[in-house]
Structure 1
């Protein structure tokens, strides 16, 4: 148990002293960039899924 407590204590020390945190403005800007790219990626996957769905439907209607 002492090892776990030591690990947590050292982790907090690492985060407090050695990590360079972004400024609030930079964090907001990067959050917007991630949100925009997530939406674009989701729309691209939706488009590919729609195309494949229609191709598969056409294929199975052609088989009947």
Structure 2
């Protein structure tokens, strides 16, 4: 199978067989993904800061 045939069949599949969502649905899901990404980033930052402070406390406690 040639690359050209593969690419043209892929585009034909996208045009005829794929059900694309409505624009309003795309916008809604984009907002959901953005909010979830921010929440996950804040959670990761919070855990990182907590462990950083915990490790610094334990290090200073052993250092004396």
Give the TM-score normalised by structure 2.
Answer: 0.92
| Runs ≥4 residues deviating over 3 A | none
Look up the match of 2:17.
Answer: 18
Look up the match of 2:45.
Answer: 46
Give the total of aligned pairs: 63
Counterpart-to-counterpart distance in 1, 2:3 and 2:17? 20
Q: 1:53 deviation in Å?
A: 0.5
Counterpart-to-counterpart distance in 1, 2:2 and 2:61? 65
Counterpart-to-counterpart distance in 2, 1:4 and 1:27? 31
5+ residue gaps in structure 1?
A: none
5+ residue gaps in structure 2?
A: none
